Amino acid sequence: MQEIKICLTKNPKAKPTDTNNLGFGKIFSDHMFLMNYDKGQGWHDARIIPYGPILMEPSSMCLHYGQEVFEGLKAYKTASGKAVLFRPEKNMERLNNSNERICIPKIDVDFCVEALKKLVEIEKDWIPESEGTSLYLRPFIFAVDPVIGVHPASHYIFCIICSPVGAYYPSGLDPVKIYVEQNYVRAVRGGLGFAKTAANYAASLKAQDEAESQSYAQVLWLDGVERKYIEEVGTMNVFFIIDDEIITPALQGSILPGITRMSAIELLGSWGYNVVERRISIDEVAQAYDEGRLKECFGTGTAAVISPVGELKWGDKKMIINNMQIGEISQKLYDNMTGIQWGKIPDTMGWITEV
Ligand SMILES: *Cc1c(COP(=O)(O)O)cnc(C)c1O
């Protein structure tokens, strides 16, 4: 394994004092991890250095053709003061799946988990401790060849930055309002949907902007071909509880395979619930709603963990779910997932990595 060189800052920044108003991704810690890739040499020069600007040419390929992949995970401070990560190897494995799709050279999963741990160990005092807060970690890789011809690059930078964050939704676990997107699509099978890459977000911004201007938190994407089957929410996977079945759309190439989604499926299964991954159409959801069988709807993602949906709008139809209140199963999932993450309840699933 490569060695990680460490150069600590001589000018540490003041840490945020009001950790109840951190927002999301606006403040960055003192250090970052960097590593370079050059064709013929592989990944090299792993280092942790003071956080700061990265010098690159205006012709850098990522700026023109979007060859970039990223990850998102959180470090938590437990009640006993330990810094822990939630399934970090899953993030690094997924990063490699994204790499594979857009021709970025693979990383060494074990080494990159070690790099994350080392960085978090150094930034341990940046992990905020108040309720709902954490240190968000953003690993990302981008192409830096100074060439604007279209082809996969030969030079890349891998970087990890850290940001102390508050609760994702300032209103906390209050159910959010989302609407079914009918004009735009996010991804199609054969495209980039399953990869965590900037381009998917570029495709989604317009819809997000229009949703926000109508006071909706995010959009619910339908499949790009038939515009009928449910895919996911802006930054989250989605679950519906209809009768006693907990349904989430099956992964088929255009949906981002969330680690929170996977963990929710495993946890619900371990409790004996009937969890099914299958195709589910918006018509099926609307019909279940009309018949009083749609009990809960929630999103899953690292940022919000579990986000109950209180209103789902589809064209002129407004579906108010569970009276705009968080449902029983959504609450139980949230309490258990965050309980494991914050070390309040035993990690029976083996999901926690101590730093
Ligand atoms: C990251 C992401 C998710 C959630 O994945 P987690 O691993 O649970 O954080 C869902 N959808 C999209 C589009 C994403 O980018």
Which CATH number does the domain housing residue 80 bear? 3.30.470.10
pTM for this structure? 0.97
Is the pLDDT at 23 greater than 90, yes or no?
no
User: Same domain, yes or no, for 39 and 161?
Assistant: yes
In angstroms, the CA 51 to CA 142 distance is 17
Domain finish residue from 166, 190, 206: 166
Ligand 1 atom 12: the closest Cα is on which residue? 235
- Listed as own residue / partner, the contacts of 87-93 with beta carbons closer than 8 Å and 24 or more positions apart are 87/259, 87/263, 87/351, 87/353, 88/113, 88/116, 88/117, 88/353, 89/113, 89/353, 90/259, 90/262, 91/139, 91/259, 92/116, 92/139
Percent of the chain with pLDDT over 90: 92
Across the chain, mean pLDDT equals 96
How many whole angstroms from 126 Cα to the centroid of ligand 1? 24
Does 53 map to a domain? yes
User: Same domain, yes or no, for 257 and 291?
Assistant: yes
Q: Which residue has the higher pLDDT, 171 or 113?
A: 113
Question: 257 near 94, Cβ under 8 Å?
Answer: yes
Task: Grade residue 172 by pLDDT with cuts at 50, 70 and 90.
Answer: low
User: Same domain, yes or no, for 99 and 192?
Assistant: no
In angstroms, the CA 3 to CA 46 distance is 7
Kindly write down the DSSP assignment for every residue of 170-181, as one continuous string: TTTTPPEEEEE-
Q: In this predicted structure, what is the pLDDT of residue 76?
A: 96
Which tens digits make up the pLDDT trace of 185-201?
999 999 999 999 999 99
User: Same domain, yes or no, for 97 and 32?
Assistant: yes
Q: In this predicted structure, what is the pLDDT of residue 130?
A: 86
Q: Which domain holds residue 277?
A: 176-341
In angstroms, the CA 254 to CA 210 distance is 22
Average pLDDT over residues 143-163: 97
Does 46 map to a domain? yes
Residue to mutate, 302, 307, 334, 338, ligand 1, most ligand atoms under 8 Å from C-beta: 302
Average pLDDT over residues 229-235: 96
Q: In this predicted structure, what is the pLDDT of residue 69?
A: 98
How many whole angstroms from 71 Cα to the centroid of ligand 1? 9
Is the pLDDT at 311 greater than 80, yes or no?
yes
Average pLDDT over residues 25-40: 97
Does 350 map to a domain? no
In angstroms, the CA 284 to CA 276 distance is 15
Which residues 6+ apart lie within 8 Å of 124 measured at CB? 77, 83, 355
User: Same domain, yes or no, for 143 and 96?
Assistant: yes
Is the pLDDT at 169 greater than 70, yes or no?
no
Q: In this predicted structure, what is the pLDDT of residue 171?
A: 58
How many whole angstroms from 6 Cα to the centroid of ligand 1? 31
Does 346 map to a domain? no
Could you give the number of structural domains in the chain? 2
Residues flanking ligand 1, CB < 6 Å: 72, 196, 232, 235-237, 256, 258-261, 300-302
Percent of the chain with pLDDT over 70: 99
How many whole angstroms from 146 Cα to the centroid of ligand 1? 31
Question: 224 near 188, Cβ under 8 Å?
Answer: yes
Residue to mutate, 85, 201, 235, 341, ligand 1, most ligand atoms under 8 Å from C-beta: 235
User: Same domain, yes or no, for 162 and 180?
Assistant: no
Which residues 6+ apart lie within 8 Å of 280 measured at CB? 229, 230, 240, 247, 249
> Which atom of ligand 1 lies at the shortest distance from residue 263's CA?
8
Which tens digits make up the pLDDT trace of 48-85?
999 999 999 999 999 999 999 999 999 999 988 999 99
Q: In this predicted structure, what is the pLDDT of residue 131?
A: 82
> Which atom of ligand 1 lies at the shortest distance from residue 300's CA?
8
User: Same domain, yes or no, for 148 and 11?
Assistant: yes
Does 75 map to a domain? yes
How many whole angstroms from 235 Cα to the centroid of ligand 1? 5
